[in-house]
Amino acid sequence: MHRLFGFLVRWAGLLVVPGGALWALSPIGASISETAFGTPNVFWKLFPSAPLLVLVGLVGLQLRQSGGILEKAGFWLASLGLVLVVAGGTGLFWLGLDDTFIMTAPAYRSFRLGLLLLGAGAILFGVAAPRDGDLPTWGLLPFVVGSLCGLVAFIVDLGSFGTVLWMLFGLGWVWLGFSLAVDGLLSWRAGRSSRGGVAEG
């Protein structure tokens, strides 16, 4: 049981792949919802699952790392941002809080603040991640670029271009998880090869 738990914790970071993919595809999902149901809200009710998967995956990634203060600060900022995005999305599309509190719009404000914290935290997490850590360096640069794209989209309404930046943010998480999976597979194969060579020797 302990080994199974350790395995799950070690590879929980891969959940950023489905979470990031759902995030990247969210504009398409909203468009399909608009066409099929006459409102994008049918899809947006499902959207909180994307940041929730990214949050669990981010925790898994952090547990693999032994970074410094800046990386941990980025992790906590991004985590808080994801929690606020989930809470804001739930309040907006499930609880209808802003229909009741029209003037203060707590759900929308939480959602927007969460996006800003998430974008800034993700950039800091990627930039400050140790280069000799478990996250492969070749996966970090595209992740940071994607996070920067996301932060720009969260700050400024750029229309269709902003939608592309939003999607690139999700793809940045997908790439980070993919790089982790590839690096783990290569390490596993190298380990098997070295054990095979020792056995033959």
Q: Tell me whether residue 2 is in a domain.
A: no
The pLDDT value recorded for residue 50 is 96
Domains in the chain, number: 1
Q: State the chain's mean pLDDT as an integer.
A: 89
Query: Considering just the CA atoms, what is the radius of gyration of the chain in Å?
Result: 19
The pLDDT value recorded for residue 6 is 59
Question: Does the predicted model carry a pTM greater than 0.75?
Answer: yes
pLDDT tens for 117-172 read 999 999 999 999 887 777 888 999 999 999 999 999 999 999 999 999 999 999 99
Q: Tell me whether residue 18 is in a domain.
A: yes
Report, as an integer, the average pLDDT of 2-10: 60
Tokens at residue 87, please? 């809470």
Q: What percent of the chain has pLDDT over 90?
A: 70
49-64 and 2-11 helices, crossing angle to 10°: 110
Q: Tell me whether residue 6 is in a domain.
A: no
Q: Measuring CA to CA, how many Å separate 85 from each of 61, 107, 121?
A: 19, 9, 13
Q: Tell me whether residue 20 is in a domain.
A: yes
Domain enclosing residue 24, as ranges: 13-187
Q: Tell me whether residue 82 is in a domain.
A: yes
Q: Tell me whether residue 72 is in a domain.
A: yes
12 close to 55: Cβ distance less than 8 angstroms = no
Q: Tell me whether residue 148 is in a domain.
A: yes
Q: Tell me whether residue 88 is in a domain.
A: yes
pLDDT tens for 12-39 read 889 999 999 999 999 999 999 999 989 9
